[in-house]
Structure 1
Amino acid sequence: MFQIEAIGGCRHDRQVLRKARLSSLGMQHKQLNYISSRSYIDIAERFADIGFWNVDMSTGEVRGTTGFFRILGLPQGEPFNLYQWTEMLAPEDKEEFRSLYSVSTMGVSVSREVRLLEASRPARWIRIAIQEAGSGDYTAGIVQNITKERVSKATLYRERARLDAFITMLGGLFWAHDVNGILADLRGGERIIGLDKLQIGNRGWLEAVHPDDRMPTAHLWSIGLRDSVASELPCRMLYADEVYRQVVVRMTPVRQENGTLIEWLGLIEETWRRDAQALLPDGAAPLLPQQLRAARVLLGWSVEDLAREAGVSKATVRRYETTGEHTKEATVATLVAAFKRHGLVMTGSPVSLSLQCG
């Protein structure tokens, strides 16, 4: 009897321990999920500046989360539909918005970027995304405030346009490479020296330097890189038309506010153009391809008109305008003289024109 009771007691103890262990595991499981899915959505909406929504396409009724109404600037809980949403958008963007559902019915998710118009504050950009339409009347999507993103992009594009204008004004070659020497940007390489980004990278541009200038240029270049200082390297460079011309290779370091080197910027300034100015009549400036096109437009001339007035072939004019191919200084002088006879004068700046009337 004693033995049976002992066995029974052991069995009871094991059951108690098993229940206690399961209870403990259950508590641990609950503790791992103490944040609700609603909390996760709230965090995502605040930090990503997004909101979730769904629409009943049979009625146009739209329902959304707190983030959705916050982004649209609407009180939460009030009835809202697709028509009201459309009326909040810029007139030019309404058709983009309307196309969302029709595209989603093709079995793809789609997004559009549109502007919200409000009387109390400037227009805001939002990105509206919608999932592929299912078999029912309901579909869901997200809305995101991308105003800051658009402003940042606009600033980037503006800075890029300024750089392009600056490079065009100087009429040379521009590049940027990182601290490891990897070329990140290149403008004008093929036009000027007939080399692409891959060829110019890793000091490939030195192959275009005149043999007599190559060693001193490479030496000064290495010193500038070693000491992280700006440098100017006058040399002769072989152009795409197999003619060596005088240039100045400039490079300068770009640093963070704490002085850490970020990258290097380089510029090949075509000083030969400035020197060629003396060959042109009355101190006129060398003619750039974009100036040639602008001058023709100002005078209302066709390519044939300019060729006839300057006494050159139509192919010469087209080639110079479309490819920027370097033309003999005498031919440039002829073009400049033709413009001058009709009151259009190149000033001392290689990027400006002046019109004389009378």
Structure 2
Amino acid sequence: MVANTTVKGTLVSFLVGITEIDIDTVEIVDIKKIKSSPSYPDVIPKQMVVKVEKKIVESREVGFLVKFCPPGIVIVEASVDLENILDEHIFDIKKSLIVECRTLLWEYYCDQHFDEEYTVYCVSNYHGDPEDIVSEYKESIAGLLKTERIPLDEEEINSTLKFNIKYSKDDLTIVDWDGAFVFDPRSDFASNIELLEIANLQLLKLRLLEHELEERLEKAAYLLQKSTLRRIPWLNSRKIRHSLREIIQIRTESIQEFAATERHINLIGDWYSARLFDLIAKKLHLEAWKININKTLDALEDIYSMIAENFSISFSTTMDFIMTFGWFVLLVGYFLLFLLELLQKKS
């Protein structure tokens, strides 16, 4: 971090979580956009206000906003104005904000093992090209984006700062995995933060789906091993078909959800929002997550197909054995009848 630097700004940290409860709220979050954007309805998921409150955190007044995005998505957002957003104490402030956000998130029974946290550094008190500020304080900015206190290598700094997008001559957004810097002299931050929240929401859903599929994969591998060793006589074709239907349903739902998001973004076209979301998605590696999930689904289908094949072979073998045993019983029966007839004739 560079010492003796003063850049006023607003620190915004948010957490995205998933809950199974239905939160009763009707007030829609009104995001006023300065940049030109299309008027397609429902392109961006609607966010509804659940709670607005202020708390004292690290001796500073912090505003908290709890939002609900149906179905089952809770977003807790904390924001605080700072005299120097590049100060080293920002790390501690950010940590405290995340703790407070997570406490609020848990009030809505969100999964404590799965959430996504992100921090946005908003700067508006400047004139001219923000790239001049970035050039002057690039070490501090890169360190905050990486949540890294130690000095970064020049190559790492440049690699971090190159993920940026501009709309006008005097604005700039830099995106990284853990945070983003948004420079805008008109304080048009809300729309960018909304897109960052949506991208993190997608990442959270992908993580949850991957976790569920990994558990299913372990179970399927166990069943395959047992079916190969013929140790699961209780396994029947109905259970196999049910498992395969579940996998197909998961694949279908995931494809529909991913396709819907991409379709919505495509509707926006080449507008700033679409280009920014594409940049965020690349930095969060959303496409890589989707590819990995599809590979896991393929593996699951293959394993259950092998289980079904083993079951089919086992079932066929069992039926052959039953038929052979049946014929043997009939032959024994005929032989006994023959003996009885002989005994009756002799008597």
Tell me if both proteins adopt one fold, taking TM over 0.5 as the criterion: no
TM-score by length of 2: 0.23
More strand by share: 1
Q: Which has the higher contact order (CA 8 A, sep 6+)?
A: 2
TM-score by length of 1: 0.23
